[in-house]
Amino acid sequence: MDLILEKPDYEYFLRGANAWEGLVNDRRLTRSFLVAPDRLVEDWPVRDAGAMQPADLDAALALEPEAILLGSGAAQVFPPPAVMAACLQRGVGLEVMTNAAVARTYTVMASEQRRVVAAFILPG
């Protein structure tokens, strides 16, 4: 069977993510990171969704998304209500999922030309 790689028309292509790492373009990331179709922010300092503060989303909000997909690792862990409220006050959706689910959702939304940021929490 022939497989053809169809490259997206945006700069940062998320190839996949799990609880321990993410793959953006050809770069393997083992520390928490943010990715948008036009930006990659490495070494995002968040390590635990349950301990997040509203300021932890400043880097993601600076990318002016319509939605932030928060990958909380291997299990779905919601951030404190103040974090959720910080997004709602700015009119930005915040969806919390496992890293693998965020990777799938981000790929669909980015391919639809949506202003989306995926925020992955990794233990490294």
Q: Is the pLDDT of residue 90 over 90?
A: yes
CATH topology of domain 31-123: Hypothetical Protein Mth938; Chain: A, (3.40.1230)
> What whole-number distance in Å separates Cα of residue 124 and Cα of residue 4?
33
106/120 Cα distance (integer angstroms): 11
How many residues make up the chain in this entry?
124
pLDDT digits (tens, 9 = 90+) for 95-110: 999 999 999 999 999 9
Q: What is the pLDDT of residue 5?
A: 56
CB count within 10 Å of CB 25 equals 12
Domain spans of the chain, in order of start: 31-123
pLDDT in tens, 20-74: 999 999 999 999 999 999 999 999 999 999 999 999 999 999 999 999 999 999 9
pTM more than 0.95: no
Distance CA(41)–CA(32), nearest Å, equals: 9
